[in-house]
Amino acid sequence: MARERFDIRQHITDRIIAQFEAGAPPWRQPWTGTRAVAGFPLRHTGEGYKGINILILWATADAKGYASDRWMTFNQARQLGGAFRKGERAAKSVFYESIEPVGDAPEQDTADAGNARRVHFAKVYNVFNADQIEGLPDEYYIRPDPPRDLGTQAEPKLDAWFAATGARIDTSDEPRAYYRPCEDRIHMPPIGTFHDAAGYYGTLAHEIIHWTGAGHRLDRITRFEDRRAYAFEELVAEIGACFLGLHLGIAPRFGQSAAYIEGWIAAMKADRDVIFRAAAEAQKAVDYLDPLRSSGTPATEAVGSAA
């Protein structure tokens, strides 16, 4: 049986999609404790990666929770005295080379006029993040800050409102907020680690909008399942969080939200109607979430506002 060819383009797309699915991005973090996300990816020598490798490795670090920015091959790690943790798997990086073939050159990936016979091709390398390796020199590691308890207090009426939705909300010291569709659960850091209660409930509002998109609720996530759907879903969640915040008396962080929304609009700017569709889906989510509406009591009156 012929060996299946590795599709680097598909691999890159899947890694970025996984990043979208992971939840709130690093710049939208109103709690303490740094989420373990590496910065600009560097080779083991400290030289920065370029081009598509930046996206591949940054997205991989984001999905895996790596804090260190150094990447290296198996042999490079061994030369530095490193030992791999059991079960660690490599990420992919791409190195471009060119050759001048002998005889008839392949039709694919040939260079332009002036160097027509040179053929450019990509080689895939397996690389590991420093966080996957023990025993490297200290400068290869970046240690994330642990969460700090600031003593932020919960608002019982808001807790009651979110509980009434029926969403399963887990809390742990992990400094990440996300909705996991396969388990139909929301994860939140402890409210005490947030800078203020409004940040906690605004973040929870974002994740609970995602929760409404499950197949057995509004079926939004699967209904819009294509290559742009993940960006669209984040747009819906951010707009919905603003709508829900206003509904509940939580002041939305428009500066933070606008920066987030702007990035996905730019990626989808070819579609002029996207903001209208996202706003419509966000409104459906907020309507679905209002368990107090049937009683005729506005949620803002019943729940109050966060400090």
- In this predicted structure, the answer to whether residue 213 has a pLDDT above a threshold of 60 is yes
- Segment 221-235 shows an average pLDDT of 70
For residue range 249-272, list pLDDT tens digits in order: 886 665 445 445 555 555 555 565
The pLDDT assigned to 250 comes to 81
SS3 192: helix
| CA–CA dist 286, 232 (Å, integer) | 16
- The predicted model scores a pTM of 0.57
d(CA 62, CA 195): 23
In this structure, the number of other CB atoms found within 10 A of the CB of residue 109 comes to 13
Instruction: Give the pLDDT of residue 292.
Output: 44
What is the CB-side half-sphere exposure of residue 148 using CA atoms within 13 A? 8
**pLDDT tier for residue 296 given thresholds of 50, 70 and 90:** very low
Instruction: Report the C-alpha gap between 38 and 70 in whole angstroms.
Output: 9
Residues 98, 78 contacting (CB under 8 angstroms)? no
- Cα–Cα distance between 280 and 224 in angstroms, integer? 13
Cα 33–chain centre separation: 17
Check: CB of residue 212 under 8 Å from CB of residue 54.
Answer: no
In this predicted structure, the answer to whether residue 107 has a pLDDT above a threshold of 60 is no
Question: Is pLDDT larger for residue 275 or for residue 28?
Answer: 275
- In this prediction, residue 92 has a pLDDT band, given cuts at 50, 70 and 90, of confident
Residue 110's pLDDT is what?
44
Alpha helices in the chain (DSSP H): 8-21, 52-64, 74-79, 156-164, 197-212, 220-223, 229-248, 254-267, 274-289, 299-303
Supply the pLDDT for residue 140: 92
Instruction: Count how many Cα atoms sit within 13 Å of the Cα of residue 234 in the half-sphere of its side chain.
Output: 25
**Average pLDDT across the chain, whole number:** 76
Residue 306: the pLDDT is 40
The whole-number pLDDT of residue 298 equals 40
Residue ranges of alpha helices (H) inside 6-147 are 8-21, 52-64, 74-79
In terms of pLDDT, which residue wins out, 175 or 179? 179
Calculate mean pLDDT across residues 78-90: 93
Q: Taking 50 as the threshold, does the pLDDT of residue 223 lie above it?
A: yes
pLDDT of 27: 42
d(CA 208, CA 210): 5
- The answer, yes or no, to whether residue 113 has pLDDT greater than 80, is no
The structure tokens listed for 106 are 């392949």
With contact defined as beta carbons under 8 Å apart, do 248 and 201 qualify? yes
Cβ neighbours of residue 203 under 8 Å, at least 6 residues apart? 24, 28, 30, 31, 177, 188, 194
More confident residue, 18 or 93: 93
Asked if 93 contacts 70 with a C-beta cutoff of 8 angstroms, the reply is no
> Does the structure show a pLDDT above 80 at 87?
yes
- What pLDDT is attached to residue 307? 38
Tell me the per-residue pLDDT of 177-190, one tens digit each, with 9 for 90 and over: 999 999 999 999 99
CA torsion 251-256-261-263 (nearest 10°) is 180
Give pLDDT, residue 303.
39
d(C-alpha 122, C-alpha 90), whole Å = 18
